[in-house]
Structure 1
Amino acid sequence: MKTIEIFDHIYEKSLMAVLVVDQVEEAVNTSKALLKGGVSVIELALRTPVALEAISAVVDHCPGMLVGAGTVINPEQVESAKKAGAHFALSPGLNTNVITESNNYDLPFIPGIATPTELQLALEFDCNCLKVFPAETIGGLPYLKSISEPYKHLEVKYIPLGGINIDNFSDYLSFPEVIAVGGSWLTPRALIKDKAWDDITKTAQKSLEILGK
């Protein structure tokens, strides 16, 4: 998929489930449960030894899922994520070396920002879709509205993560500059460990009902 197609898909779906898994089958079963509930975008964080293998497995076994590699914090991980089959990548922060390497590998990349300085640096590297992290801790939606205002004419888009939950995600999505929100409320590790796939499906369905989708 082309970069614009990936971002359009994320915008259309609005919700991005964040996964941290210890077993490959957890990623596959969770993804199937999410798809059943109508959520088709995930960020699978590169925080565990099986993460890259899990990305490949989800890409292979869940063709309807758009898979992002999360916590990509160094250039070497870009190559690994691309080879694993990730459709795009995200980071909690902004590392210009990672941006450059993502361009080299033609891997759509969403850097994380928390300040206007980081936002401007991202724009210098032609990144206009940005992860805002940790969204709630740094001031929530009022803060995002404030820092985004000077750049509104540049049509920058945002994906807030960090502290987003079923009670506040729709508030963020009401802000036109936000194309999607991400969070682990859709995929709590406790439910994954308990293999409570039906509960994950129900949470996805409930979240979409809140959005009227």
Structure 2
Amino acid sequence: MIERVLAKRIVPVVVLDDAGSAEPLAEALLAGGLDIMEITFRTPAAEESIRRIAKTFPEILLGAGTLLDEDQVSRARDAGAVFGLAPGLNPKIVTKAREAGLQFSPGVMTPGEVEQALSLGCKLLKFFPAEVAGGTAMLKALAGPYAHTGVKFVPTGGITSALLEAYLRLPIVAAIGGSWMVEKSLVNEGQWSEITRLTREALAAAADAR
């Protein structure tokens, strides 16, 4: 999974109110050149949306986000998710994900949480909430004592297209998680061509940041 994430360096964070939007959204992202996405378990439509995309677009590296309990981990894996994320670090969720065969990235924002995640065998970590937690300055500080461990971060929370380049220029950042190219209003209004355009734009900016 880390190799796939490093290849694109952008993980769109999707909130779907209607599972009927799942397939056209996946098509729009693929048309823009992006074959990875995270669907958050914040709405009742999340599980069915994952199931539909996993069945129709197996080429997409499909993740489930905001996994806050063990039941959600099981449901996400059964629906077809291949990786999971959470805003925080809960050892029980990490263990459950491992048992379910779901690659998991817990959320961290402090040195203590980074060390706990590493002790649990997690090396691809969600840095959340990125901007509020200190942004690129905090990640540079964390890189000092932890970069040699092989840990990589996916900062998420408050990141916009204008901030993308600053984050991706940090060696310790594997990718960024963002929602500007898949904003709820764009999805709910079916603006698939605009989502494709924004995705292409984001990928071009990510390529420039290498």
Indicate the TM-score class for this superposition, using the shorter chain for normalisation.
over 0.9
Give the gaps of 5 or more residues in structure 2: none
Structure 1 stretches of 4+ moved >2 Å: none
Q: Give 2:3's match in structure 1, choosing from 5, 8, 11.
A: 8
Corresponding residue number in structure 1 for 2:175? 180
What is the CA deviation profile of residues 142-192 of structure 1, one whole-angstrom value per residue up to 9, with x for unaligned ones? 111112311121111110000111111121111111111111012011111
Contact 2:22-2:53 within 8 A present in 1 as well? yes
- In 2, Cα distance between equivalents of 1:211 and 1:178: 12
Name the SS of the counterpart of 1:182 in structure 2.
strand
2:23 is matched by which residue type in structure 1? V
Corresponding residue number in structure 2 for 1:205? 200
Contact 2:106-2:125 within 8 A present in 1 as well? yes
Corresponding residue number in structure 2 for 1:115? 110
State the TM-score, normalized to the length of structure 1.
Answer: 0.95
Equivalent residue runs for 1:131-210 within 5 Å: 131-210=126-205
Contact 1:19-1:27 within 8 A present in 2 as well? no
Contact 2:15-2:184 within 8 A present in 1 as well? yes
State the TM-score, normalized to the length of structure 2.
Answer: 0.96
Corresponding residue number in structure 1 for 2:74? 79
- In 2, Cα distance between equivalents of 1:43 and 1:193: 17
Give the gaps of 5 or more residues in structure 1: 1-5
Corresponding residue number in structure 2 for 1:68? 63
Deviation at 1:28, TM superposition (A): 1.6
Name the SS of the counterpart of 1:212 in structure 2.
helix
Corresponding residue number in structure 2 for 1:3? none
Deviation at 1:122, TM superposition (A): 0.5
Contact 1:35-1:64 within 8 A present in 2 as well? no
Give the count of matched residue pairs: 208
- In 1, Cα distance between equivalents of 2:203 and 2:118: 31
